[in-house]
Amino acid sequence: MPMFQRKTPLEKEWQILNRKEEKYLEKRVQKKDSKLNSMLAQKVPAKMQSTMDAAFEKAFSTIFEKGTTLIEKTYQKDKREKKYAVNNFVDEVERSRKSLRAFSKEAKSSGNQNLLISGVSGIGMGIVGVGLPDIPLFTGMIFRSIYEIALSYGYRYDTEEEQYFILKIIEGAVSYGETAKRINAEIDYFAADPYLPEGYDRKEQSKKAAGALSKELLYMKFLQGIPIVGAVGGAYDVIYMKNISEYAQLKYHKRFLLGRR
């Protein structure tokens, strides 16, 4: 009788993903403010935070009410659904690590493309000194990236439940410490049992996610509003898009593997 059993491809992928998640959470233990943020803190107008909060809340609301259809026109939804169907069929036949990794590979490719678009847009607007007006476009790019990641793993994004999952991902991706750990646990709980929590209110959850994102981007959006040097602030769109996209890939991948188990 063998002393140990060989891990299945699914078990190996699950183990690797859990290590990735542990490393991710380790990086979110504490926020480290840069010297640039410390310098800008003295210059940002007192009312700018509340103005940004309102701008992100409005952007979230617009997307949920009528923006999803517009976002879908910016990428090939049918192509992604077909690609998922092909990957799913191959995995059902092969049950190999290669067939399992095809889903995450597809999700990563969409994320990289959206990073490039976000960077060009953010830097371009920063050069001409456009900061706050960039928020609707930047928010749309965040949702586009998450939508494409969701499709890569075979998930919808147009139901109340899926919108909750997306909002928690955005909030979690820009949180730190115990808050990040708590939100991560809430996301995992939903992934295992996809029902809305008791007393859930989308408007309230949108406000939390928008507030967390607004707080994280405050200094860079202020800098982006200054012509020429604003390109530096605009470049940070890529950094935050990368953080959110990577976290979305991590949580959708985990949800996907959990479903496969």
Q: Does residue 204 or residue 236 have the better pLDDT?
A: 204
Count CB neighbours of 137 within 10 A: 17
Per-residue pLDDT for 260 more than 90? no
Looking at the predicted structure, is the pLDDT value of residue 126 above 60? no
What average pLDDT does this structure show over 115-135?
50
pLDDT reading at 234 higher than 70 = no
Q: What is the pLDDT of residue 136?
A: 82
More confident residue, 254 or 121: 254
Among 87-101, 208-222, 224-238, name the most confident range: 87-101
Return d(Cα 99, Cα 9) in angstroms, integer: 9
Residue 99 has pLDDT above 80, yes or no: yes
Contact, 71 vs 143, CB < 8 A? yes
pLDDT band at residue 171 using 50, 70 and 90 as cut-offs: very high
Q: Which of 66-70, 76-80, 137-141, 158-162 has the highest mean pLDDT?
A: 158-162
Query: Average pLDDT, whole number, for the chain?
Result: 82
The predicted-structure confidence for 25-59, as pLDDT tens digits, reads as follows 898 887 776 666 666 666 666 777 888 888 888 88
pLDDT of residue 131: 45
Residue that has been written with the tokens 């147009």 in this structure: 158
> Do 133 and 236 touch, CB atoms closer than 8 A?
no
- pTM, to two decimals: 0.86
pLDDT digits (tens, 9 = 90+) for 177-195: 999 999 999 999 999 999 9
Q: Check if the beta carbon of residue 199 is closer than 8 Å to that of residue 224.
A: no
Q: What pLDDT score does 170 carry? A: 95
Of 199, 194, 206, 202, the C-alpha closest to 251 is 194
Q: Is pLDDT of 78 > 70?
A: yes
* Distance between CA atoms of residues 37 and 44, nearest Å: 10
What is the distance, to the nearest Å, from the Cα of residue 29 to the centroid of all Cα atoms in its chain?
18
pLDDT value, residue 201: 92
pLDDT (mean) for 95-111: 87
pLDDT at 127 over 70: no
